[in-house]
Amino acid sequence: MNDVLASLSNTGIAKQLGVPRVPVLRRHRPGDPLLAGPVLVASAGGAGGRFAKAVAAFVEENGQPVVGAAGEERLHGVVVDLSEARTLADLAAAQQLLTPAVRKLGPSGRLLLIGAEPADAFESGGAEAAAVAQALDGLVRSVAKELRAGATANLVVVAAGAPPVAIDSSVRFFLSARSAYVDGQVVHVAAPIGVLPEPAEVDDPLAEERPLAGRVAVVTGAARGIGASIADTLARDGATIVAVDVPAAGQRLADTANRTGGTALQLDITAADAADRLLTHLADRHGGVDLVVHNAGITRDKLLANMTADRWDAVLAVNLGAQLAINDALLAGGSPLREAGRVVCVSSQSGIAGNRGQTNYAASKAGVIGMVRALAPRFAERGATINAVAPGFIETDMTATMPLATREGGRRINSLRQGGLPVDVAEAIGWFGRAESGGLNGQIVRVCGQSMLGA
Ligand code: NAD
C-alpha cells in the first residue's frame, strides 16, 4: 500500500495546509482488549429492548464500564437497543439519547443500533411500528457519514423469534477493532440455525483470541492478495487452513500453507473435476470441513461493446461457475461439510454498483449475491449457513496498478476516506465463519468503509 495522503495527513504541515485528515483505523491485534473504553448501553421504546441487558453484561465481562447516558467521558461505543421501538415518540427518545452520545464517541468508536424486522414490528404495532423499524436504516446510514476519526455506525436487525444469544457474535464483531472498515451496514439476524456451541469460558483468555479453534477452513485463491490474508487471519483465529490456488501459483501457495501450518492443494477451480478433488482432499486429509471461503476471482475488463466471449467466459467461470459447482457438491449427500458449516463467498462492490468496463466481472459478482440468497435455505436444512462479503476499494496489487486518478477516487469516496486492507475483508469472513454466527444466513455485508458507490 502506498497511500501518500494517509501518511502525510497526520503531520503538522498537512494540518497547516488544511489537507483532509485520513484517520488511522484501530485494527485487531492479538492480545489487545476487545473494547477500548466505556460503552453506553441503553434502550428506547416499550418496556425496553430485549438485548440491552446481554450487551451490558458482555461489555462488563470484557473489562469496560457500562454507562446509561452520555456524561463527560470519552466513549468507545454506543449501543442503543431499539428492538421494541414502535412509535415516533420512541424514535424521538432514541434521538435524545444519541445526540449527546455521538459527541462523546472516541477515535475508532463504535455506534451500534439494534432494531426489529419491520414485518415483525408491523404485527405488533401496525404501520407506525413498521415505519419506525425501517427508519433506523436511514438513521444509521446517515450518522455513519457524519462520524469522524475512524468511528463507524452499523445496524443489527433481529427477527422476533431470535434469542439474545443470536446476536452475540455480531455485537462482538461490530464493537471490536475487527470491523474497522465495515461501516453503514445493516445485517439481519434470525434464530440460529443448528446447534449453538457452548458459550466460551469467560476465564479462558484464548477463547476470544482463537474463536475458530478446531475448525477446518478452505480458502480458494489463497496464494496472494486478499486470499492470503484470509488464510493468515483464519489461522491466527485458530482454524486449520486448506489453501487452494492454481498450479502456476506454486511457491506462493506453498508459502501460505507453510505460514499458516495448513495444507496446500493445487487446483484450478474451473476444472470439471475440481469440486470432486477438493471435497476428496477435505475428507481424506482433514476428515471434513467447517468453513469454505470462495475467494478466488479474476478480472478481464473491456467495455461491453468490445467484449469477447473468452473474456466473458473466463470471468464467469472462475467467479461464479466454480462457486456454484462447489456449493452443489457441498450440499450433496455424503459431503464433508460438518454441522455448523459456514460458506462465505467474496462478491464485490462492482456487483452492487456496477463499474465501467466490468460487465463480465459485475455480472459474476452480482450473480454471487443471487446465489447466496437462493442457497441460504438449502444450507440451513443442513444446519449450515452461506453469506457473502462485498469488498469495496481494498489496497492490493490489483488496485495498486490502477491509474492514479481512479485509485485516488476509489480511496476517498467513502466515509473513512481511505482504502481498506485485505485483513478487513478477512475479519468479516472470520465473523461469518464462527460457529456462534448461525443466526446470519443469506447476508451480504459490504467491507467498503461505507463507499458512496452503489449505496
Ligand atoms: P488477486 O488476483 O490478488 O488474487 C486472486 C487469487 O485467485 C490468485 O492467487 C489467483 O491465482 C487465484 N485464482 C484465480 N483463478 C483461479 C482458479 N481458476 N482456480 C484457483 N485459484 C484461482 O485478487 P484479490 O485482489 O486478492 O481478490 C480476491 C477476491 O476479492 C476476488 O474474488 C476479487 O474479485 C475480490 N475483490 C477484490 C477487491 C480489491 O479491491 N482487490 C475488491 C472487491 C472484490
Neighbours of 372 (CB within 10 A): 25
> Cα separation of 214 and 448, whole Å?
30
> Cα separation of 97 and 67, whole Å?
12
Q: Is the CB of 394 under 6 A from ligand 1?
A: yes
* Residue 400: per-residue pLDDT: 87
Q: Is 361 one of the annotated active-site residues of the chain?
A: yes
Q: What is the pLDDT of residues 402-418, one digit of tens each?
A: 888 888 988 999 999 99
Residue 451 has what DSSP assignment? B
- Mean local confidence (pLDDT), 246-274: 98
Instruction: Output the pTM of the full model.
Output: 0.96
* Residue 200: per-residue pLDDT: 55
Query: Do residues 153 and 195 lie in contact, with contact meaning Cβ atoms separated by under 8 Å?
Result: no
* Residue 49: per-residue pLDDT: 87
Higher pLDDT, 454 or 370: 370
- Mean local confidence (pLDDT), 422-432: 98
Q: What is the pLDDT of residues 136-180, one digit of tens each?
A: 999 999 999 999 999 999 999 999 999 999 999 999 999 999 999
Q: Which residues contact 84 (CB under 8 A, 6 or more apart)?
A: 43, 45, 46, 47, 48, 49, 50, 90, 116
Q: What is the pLDDT of residues 314-364, one digit of tens each?
A: 999 999 999 999 999 999 999 999 999 999 999 999 999 999 999 999 999
Q: How does residue 80 score in pLDDT terms, banded at 50, 70 and 90?
A: very high
* Residue 402: per-residue pLDDT: 83
Ligand 1 centroid vs 73 CA: distance in angstroms?
44
Q: Tell whether the model's pLDDT for residue 204 goes beyond 70.
A: no
Query: Do residues 433 and 210 lie in contact, with contact meaning Cβ atoms separated by under 8 Å?
Result: no
Ligand 1 centroid vs 296 CA: distance in angstroms?
4
Domains of the chain: 33-189 (3.40.50.720), 208-447 (3.40.50.720)
Q: How does residue 202 score in pLDDT terms, banded at 50, 70 and 90?
A: very low
What is the complex's ipTM, to 2 decimals? Answer: 0.99
Ligand 1 centroid vs 236 CA: distance in angstroms?
21
Q: What is the pLDDT of residues 263-296, one digit of tens each?
A: 999 999 999 999 999 999 999 999 999 999 999 9
Q: Which three cell numbers stand for residue 446?
A: 459490504
Phi, psi of 94 (to 5 degrees): -65, -45
Q: Which three cell numbers stand for residue 340?
A: 455448523
Q: Tell whether the model's pLDDT for residue 14 goes beyond 90.
A: no
H-helix or E-strand spanning residue 379: helix 359-381
Query: Do residues 255 and 279 lie in contact, with contact meaning Cβ atoms separated by under 8 Å?
Result: no
Closest CA to 103 of 66, 68, 143, 49: 143
The atom of ligand 1 lying closest to the CA of 252 is 9
Work out the percent of the chain whose per-residue pLDDT is above 70. Answer: 93
Listing from the earlier edge strand, what are the strands of the sheet with 240-245? 263-266, 240-245, 216-220, 289-294, 337-346, 385-391, 444-447
Q: What is the pLDDT of residues 382-405, one digit of tens each?
A: 999 999 999 999 999 878 888 888
Q: Per-residue DSSP letters for 382-434?
A: TT-EEEEEEE-SB-SHHHHTS-HHHHHHHHHSBTTSS-B-HHHHHHHHHHHHS
The atom of ligand 1 lying closest to the CA of 396 is 41
Ligand 1 centroid vs 238 CA: distance in angstroms?
23
The catalytic residue among 361, 379, 393, 431 is 361
Closest CA to 175 of 255, 262, 89, 56: 56
Q: Is the CB of 225 under 6 A from ligand 1?
A: yes
The atom of ligand 1 lying closest to the CA of 226 is 26
The atom of ligand 1 lying closest to the CA of 346 is 32
Q: How many CA atoms lie within 13 A of 108 on its CB side?
A: 18
What SS3 state is found at 95? helix
Q: Is the CB of 171 under 6 A from ligand 1?
A: no
Q: Is the CB of 249 under 6 A from ligand 1?
A: yes
* Residue 208: per-residue pLDDT: 75
- Mean local confidence (pLDDT), 423-439: 97
Q: Is the CB of 229 under 6 A from ligand 1?
A: no
